[in-house]
Structure 1
Amino acid sequence: MALLSINGKIFCGGSLITNSFVLTAAHCVIQNYTQLIVKLGEYDASTTLDGPTSNFGINRAFKHPNYENKTHTYDIALLKLDGTTYYNSAKVMMYGKVLITLSVLPFLGLTQLLDNKCIPPKYAPRIIGGQNAGRAPWMAYLMRNRAFVGGGSLIAYRFVLTAAHCSKLNETLFVRLGEYDLSTTRDGKTQDYRAVDIYRHPYYNAVTQVNDIALLKLDRPVIYTATIRPICILLSPGVRFVINKIKLFTVTGWGQASRYPRMPTKLQQMTVRRYSYSHCYNQPGKLCASNPAQFACKGDAGSPLGAQVRYNGTTIFAQFGVASTFTDNCKAYGIYTDLLYHTHWIAETMQHNWY
């Protein structure tokens, strides 16, 4: 935490994000910002017995170029300190908490991950090919009255992403994580959670399936393991050009494995090719994909559509879509909600309901 003061009076707050930069609100940056003092390490301003603090001046201030003073749109700014901070053990812990907060801010210029723990140690790509999927530790199995209703993906420590039509407001929905093969308990430990809150997109249309996306808040935090881990979600709008270059995606779920109404017990996966919007009713905010040899259908709704991408020199599997609807009775194209249209809503909803 950073405490901004002027003439000895508390003026604003902020957060230390590197050893020389503090993040704050743009309206906190006065015209003569060099008068501001940034204090780090503060806890109780009424005493000096709670530990040492460090004071810094401000070398430069950077308001967001589109900041509006009247509406407070883009109310964010960076302060460059006049010195370099050195972390002690207490401040290192606080620095880690600040990073968690920043990871859900979609408006920073650099490409970010919603939860950087989606990159496990010694990451090896898990989605390779075939019909039965390899382990996809982010997969969520959604249940209503003990019956399967759809898929989803773990995206942060107690949030699951799914399709809005897979959920009903104020209903009792359960989420199982760590599942792979429903026919056995020998495939690893699973964990069941209750969805205590369901956040469907405020502009979801049940008729057209526009904005078919929802967040489920679980009844307790998820402890990550080798078989339970979040999927990577890229937040920066600047990654659109990367997504537009991806021609092949992978979709995983427990949906029908054939054109006959037979539900599989093992997690399924298939590779789908991107097609133009004209094949999928020209719906904006959607991804259109298909595989002539296989198909996604009943039971796949809410499941993640993703692909391997390079992130900071590492290959990660990132989610780019949520299975929504299908054309021509599941015989043609799958329509997926495009996540990049909704990352701001995802991040904002999580921020407001984090605890």
Structure 2
Amino acid sequence: MKIRLIVWLAITVLTSLVEGQFEYFTDDPPDDYFKRKSLDDCPIRFYWDMDKFNVHYAFGGVRAVRGEFQHMAAIGWNNSGSIKYLCGGSLITSRFVLTAAHCVADGEGKPPVTVRLGDTNLNSTEDVQFSQQVRIKALKRHPQYRFSRKYYDIALIELEEEVKFNEAICPACLWLEENAPTEQMNAVGFGVTGFGEELSPTLQKVNLSEIDKDDCLRRLPKNSRALPEGLVQSQFCAASDHQDTCEGDSGGPLQIERLDVSNVMVPLIAGVVSFGTPCTEGSTGVYTRVAAYRDWIEKETGRSFSYSTCARTSGCHTRKHVRSNIDSPPSAPFHRVGLLWNHTDLNEFQCGGTLVDYKFVLTSAHCARFKQGFPKLIVVGDSKQIVSIESVHIHPMYTPDKPENDLALLKLTKYLNPRGDMLPACLWREDEVKDEYGQMHYSTYSSRFDSLKYFHEDVYNRYVIGTKIEENGKCTNTRFRSKNLLCGQNNVKLIPTVCKIDYGGPVSNKANFQWTPYVYGVVSTLSESCENELVGTRIAPHLQWIEDTILNHNNDQLIFVS
């Protein structure tokens, strides 16, 4: 009977944990709640046993990516019993290759018959273990393309069967911005390496930059029949002093790599090789701007190419991993909550906040007052547990032109149950910002998928961007320097739109099972994007107001009562 009881209890506890039934908040305050005189007892009160959060994770090596350009495709024609590869392309899904429209037929009008993937040397068997040869099912050139013109030079190749992703084969995503990337781009192909030379059997790459449209037109041979309208918006030019794409590179990608917040490098195709000047030193290439054809590509392939959807739903797990200053926050202990304005929209990243007491959440005044009116609820992470807000306290000195006072406190209707893995963050009390790792971490998030319609509310992942503490967090932007704000620089180039600022969320130390979590500030709406200067409101100058508000249990000076 005793053994049976123990087993029953164990099953009950496990079931409770699995179903997420632990209640983070309770109606009853702690025994000494009304006796608390200061918040500086936070480390002793909540973090006296940090070892309970010491969960051991297995860290292993990341599998090496064999191919530098895993999406590169060689497009082949029948040639007297052999295959001759005359164009390049880019794998963008398991069934589709993106290429140039003029590559749907050779000089004799014959269509290509096959695509080779995962091969970096077409004359060798060194990549045979990883490469795949797939027959072509259909050629879909843009409906407005004409062989006598240089416009609409884009096409899709549908494959007879799905490609199997491996170490050498993985699809690319598309650069969706109106303008070409500002950094150097890579053009890739099996084209000739110089004037009068044979096609290269080995995959070649060149570094190119966009050049001015007028300069490009001056370089190109006059051809009013092929370019009656000159260069149009759906085309752009790129070149370098010593390199360019050549014959045989047609249809191949002009691309960059950008970092996703998951620390995976994702190739983004900005252009498709179309035509250019003769292949000599300093020659110029013209490229089809892929972003101009996004709608057509999505219609033909039947899938979304938004950055978040493409980067995270490809089914490819062999992209290059890198170390960066972007990381997932520790799962325990955690203190960030989301602000809600109603019970129907449960997106926890409308604005963020930090639990700093059993009953109070610290956030920005902008979020608490101007975003959608006063918030009504907070939501606790993945558990989706909701707690009502009893009152909202805006910093008395806050106005939109005084971002150094952009703070608010939300008083909840319930009290934290401190026996779980959610605990208040401690307040940093010193003027000088310090951290064992020399970093501040700004709260951010990223959309996991593109469509709320198909993936409901489970579409976001939280991240933090670590910035080096320099000059005690002084801002480089002259507009902010006089405001005593907290600033940090993120110098990593990211895929556009995949990272979003968690306004109202915490600026904190790198807390883990060794270090007590401290909050230095609140993420400010002055932070424009994850790639610009990140800005926070310092809390150290406002500790008196924070403590007076939290510890005055009879406070009747309410801005809002739910």
Aligned to 1:233: 427
Gaps of at least 5 residues in structure 2 are: 1-30, 58-324, 453-457, 556-562
Aligned to 2:227: none
Helix, strand or coil for the counterpart of 1:243? coil
How far residue 338 of structure 1 moved from its aligned partner, in angstroms, is 0.8
CA deviation profile, 1:272-298 (whole Å, cap 9, x unmatched):
123453413214331111221168974
Aligned to 1:131: 327
Aligned to 1:52: none
Indicate yes or no: 2:416 matched with 1:222.
Answer: yes
How far residue 209 of structure 1 moved from its aligned partner, in angstroms, is 2.1
How far residue 208 of structure 1 moved from its aligned partner, in angstroms, is 4.0
Distance verdict in 2 for CA 1:256–1:113, change over 3 Å: same
Aligned to 2:560: none
Distance verdict in 2 for CA 1:289–1:278, change over 3 Å: closer
Return 326-335 or 261-270, whichever deviates more: 261-270
Contact 2:444 2:499 in 1 (8 A): no
Contact 1:325 1:334 in 2 (8 A): no
How do 1:143-162 residues align onto structure 2 when only pairs under 5 Å count?
143-145=340-342, 146=345, 147=347, 148-162=349-363
Aligned to 2:541: 341
Contact 2:394 2:409 in 1 (8 A): yes
Gaps of at least 5 residues in structure 1 are: 1-95, 105-110, 181-188
Distance verdict in 2 for CA 1:309–1:144, change over 3 Å: closer
How far residue 175 of structure 1 moved from its aligned partner, in angstroms, is 0.4
Contact 1:172 1:194 in 2 (8 A): no
Distance 1:229 1:316 in 2: 11
How far residue 267 of structure 1 moved from its aligned partner, in angstroms, is 1.9
Within the candidate set 476, 488, 494, 1:289 is matched to 488
Contact 1:156 1:230 in 2 (8 A): yes
Indicate yes or no: 2:463 matched with 1:268.
Answer: yes
Aligned to 2:307: none
Aligned to 1:101: 36
Distance verdict in 2 for CA 1:150–1:102, change over 3 Å: same
Helix, strand or coil for the counterpart of 1:342? helix
Aligned to 1:248: 439
Contact 2:485 2:538 in 1 (8 A): yes
CA deviation profile, 1:179-216 (whole Å, cap 9, x unmatched):
14xxxxxxxx4421111101110011223423011100
Q: Tell me which amino acid in the other structure corresponds to 1:284.
A: K
CA deviation profile, 1:227-272 (whole Å, cap 9, x unmatched):
321112244xxx33463997311223435689x9999512212211
Aligned to 1:307: 509
How far residue 300 of structure 1 moved from its aligned partner, in angstroms, is 0.8
How far residue 144 of structure 1 moved from its aligned partner, in angstroms, is 1.6
Distance 1:271 1:248 in 2: 6
Distance 1:317 1:125 in 2: 14
Q: Tell me which amino acid in the other structure corresponds to 1:199.
A: H
Aligned to 2:374: 171
**What TM-score results when the alignment is normalised by the length of structure 1?**
0.56
Within the candidate set 38, 43, 46, 1:117 is matched to 46
CA deviation profile, 1:83-136 (whole Å, cap 9, x unmatched):
xxxxxxxxxxxxx839952333xxxxxx6438821555525479x975333315
Within the candidate set 298, 316, 320, 2:520 is matched to 320
Helix, strand or coil for the counterpart of 2:405? coil
Helix, strand or coil for the counterpart of 1:102? coil
Helix, strand or coil for the counterpart of 1:301? coil
Distance verdict in 2 for CA 1:98–1:160, change over 3 Å: closer
Q: Tell me which amino acid in the other structure corresponds to 1:117.
A: F
**What TM-score results when the alignment is normalised by the length of structure 2?**
0.37
Return 273-282 or 117-126, whichever deviates more: 117-126
Distance 1:97 1:131 in 2: 37
Distance verdict in 2 for CA 1:118–1:214, change over 3 Å: farther
Let me know the Cα RMSD of the aligned residues.
3.9
Percentage identity across paired residues of the two chains: 20
Q: Tell me which amino acid in the other structure corresponds to 2:376.
A: L
Contact 1:163 1:324 in 2 (8 A): yes
Distance 2:485 2:451 in 1: 26
Q: Tell me which amino acid in the other structure corresponds to 1:286.
A: L
